[in-house]
Amino acid sequence: MIASKYKVGIVAGALILFGLVLTAYKVVSLDLPLWPGESREVWTIETKISFQPSDGPVDVELELPSGLGGWVTLEEHFASSGFGFSVVEEGDGKVARWSRQSLEHPTTLYYKQQAYRANRDLLPDFPVSEVEAPLLEADQRAAMERLVMDLRDRSSGPATFAALLIQELARSQPSQDAEFLLGTYRETSLRVMLDVLAYAGIPAHTVRGIQLQDGRRRQTLSALLEIHDGSDWQLLDPVTAVSGLPDNFFIWQRGDGAALRVMGGRDSRLEFALVSNSLSAKTVVSMEQRSDDFALLDFSIYALPVEQQGIFKGILLLPVAAFVVVVMRILVGLKTSGTFMPILIALAFLQTTLLVGLVIFLSLVSVGLWIRSWLSHLNLLLVARVSAVVIVVILLMAVLALISYKLGLDQALTVTFFPTIILAWTIERMSILWEEEGGREVMVQGGGSLLVAIMAYLVMSLSVVEHLTFNFPELLVSLLGVILLIGKYTGYRLSELYRFRDMANMK
């Protein structure tokens, strides 16, 4: 017996641990929220490529974002009517390629994606390439030399050097050297920065991406400056010199090179339209499971069609209700009529809401009992009598539904959710109990059943419970372990502390 106790303990412990570990894994690693109501900001990014075709074949290549910084793509969709289209792996990332032999009209290609930031990941390592000194005119070189010397004097390392450089170039009245450089370059200040950094021997490149702004249309790519400080890469905003990756920055492309290459066209433009939605975390995960990022989710409820998901949402609540019954019967010691009848009543309550459900249940059972007492005079065989009660219950339900509908009480229409057969058996049992043990026992058992049903209902209707059972079905394995443990509980029931209360007085 001792051995069996240990066996149960070990099995239960293992089950509980298994459920909790798997849950913890899903929370930590897959980022499933433990509490309901958490939402994720999902961005819909519509990329618009437009260009004027010139003669000859057209070839458009768009480098696709590769989920840097913890971004996860939920869905992507390409519009490419009339074009040959393919997505090819190229280096680290993917490239979308549209091609066509000839084109007459200006045309627009679309690429739409939905993405959200699952984690705040740091950027992965990036190879540091040899710094090549920029090709400069003599006067540019002299100005740059002076600028670099000045910045080196004032900085403590590559990071501060870059920050000072950004501030220097962004000032409304820059120093002569900086002004000269900005003036002779025909390009953006970013180009100047990259050259100055290269001149100073600091590895640097741009990180292109989108500044996320809800509702923004015709957004263009913007850039961050990424420099290598000797040990790590660091991101800097080329205007404000703030370091780090901004929250609203969606990285499209890291390193030099163009994000968009159009051959056989001109005036090409890359523009973005942005919409942000707050979707529940559940939805996000369910969308996500279609991408194969997480093999584990493929085996979750989310892998089922939406309809089956709805059914499972209810089924997965049953173990929790069973747990309530176990606790109330073994630990508290409530008497119920039928072991799991309270669960079925509780399920009906879920559909009808508690108060309406109670009223319907009590009125059906009491009228049923009254009619059943009349049936008992007819001296019928048991099965026929229960069947008669079933029919009576159904008729009562119909009458109740009709009357309430005519009175405009729509809630009572939910009466159909009550399990008819269970109601009939309840009525039959109660009626026998009444005859044999008296009304008091009927009240004790009926009241006990109803109390347990109400508690099971309250537990099942907690949104936390629904969320946990649906998203973490493995918690039910833990629940199984706990139920096994309770099955070995040899202590007193709460009701026994009352039942034997007078025994304390004995000698």
Partner 1 sequence: MIRLVAPSTLRRLGILGMNRRNISFIGANNPRRNYQLVDNKLLTKKAALERGIVVPELYGVIEHQFQIDHIMEQVQDRDAFVIKPVQGSGGKGILVVVGRDGDRFVKSSGSVIADRDLRRHTSNILAGLHSLGGRNDFAMIEALIDFNPALAEYSYEGVPDIRVIVLRGVPVMAMMRCATHASDGKANLHQGAVGVGIDIGDGHSIAAVQHGSLVTHHPDTGACFKSLRLPDWDAILDLAASCAEMTGLGYLGADIVLDRQRGPMLLELNARPGLAIQVANQEGLIHRLRMAEEIAATAPDHAARVRLARDRFHRPEPVFPEEPVAFPSGAA
- Looking up tokens 């962004």 gives 170
500: amino acid identity, one letter:
F
Select the span of 128-136, 272-280, 342-350, 495-503 touching partner 1 (CB under 8 A): 495-503
Q: For residues 255 and 447, which CB has a smaller minimum distance to partner 1 in the complex?
A: 447
Judged by CB under 8 A, the residue of 172, 379, 407, 408 near partner 1 is 379
CA angle (127 as vertex; 124, 131 as ends), nearest 5:
135
Residue 373 within binding range of partner 1, rule CB under 8 A: no
Count interface residues toward partner 1 (CB under 8 A).
29
Residue 407 within binding range of partner 1, rule CB under 8 A: no
Q: For residues 230 and 438, which CB has a smaller minimum distance to partner 1 in the complex?
A: 438
Phi, psi of 135 (to 5 degrees): -85, 125
Judged by CB under 8 A, the residue of 35, 299, 370, 492 near partner 1 is 492
The SS3 call for residue 280 is strand
Start-to-end CA distance of the chain, whole Å, equals: 33
Select the span of 156-164, 275-283, 450-458, 493-501 touching partner 1 (CB under 8 A): 493-501
253: amino acid identity, one letter:
Q
Residue 135 within binding range of partner 1, rule CB under 8 A: no
Site for partner 1 in 255-294 (CB under 8 A): none
Q: What is the dihedral of CA 127, 132, 136, 140, to 10 degrees?
A: 70
303: amino acid identity, one letter:
A
Q: For residues 134 and 338, which CB has a smaller minimum distance to partner 1 in the complex?
A: 338
Residue 330 within binding range of partner 1, rule CB under 8 A: yes
How far apart are CB 490 and partner 1 at their closest, in Å? 4
Q: What CA–CA distance (Å, rounded) separates 341 from 12?
A: 26
Q: What CA–CA distance (Å, rounded) separates 215 from 276?
A: 7
Judged by CB under 8 A, the residue of 333, 363, 413, 482 near partner 1 is 333
Phi, psi of 13 (to 5 degrees): -60, -45
Site for partner 1 in 423-452 (CB under 8 A): 432, 436-438
Neighbours of 239 (CB within 10 A): 15
Residue 130 within binding range of partner 1, rule CB under 8 A: no
Select the span of 70-78, 207-215, 413-421, 482-490 touching partner 1 (CB under 8 A): 482-490
Residue 502 within binding range of partner 1, rule CB under 8 A: yes
209: amino acid identity, one letter:
G
Q: For residues 377 and 406, which CB has a smaller minimum distance to partner 1 in the complex?
A: 377
Q: What CA–CA distance (Å, rounded) separates 377 from 368?
A: 15
Residue 504 within binding range of partner 1, rule CB under 8 A: yes
| Exposure letters 414-431 (e unless 16+ CB within 10 A, then b) | bbeebebebbbbbbbbbb
Judged by CB under 8 A, the residue of 138, 295, 382, 407 near partner 1 is 382
Residue 506 within binding range of partner 1, rule CB under 8 A: yes
Neighbours of 481 (CB within 10 A): 22
Q: What CA–CA distance (Å, rounded) separates 215 from 207?
A: 23
Give the residues lining the site for partner 1 (CB under 8 A): 1, 330, 333, 379, 381-383, 432, 436-438, 488-494, 496-504, 506-507
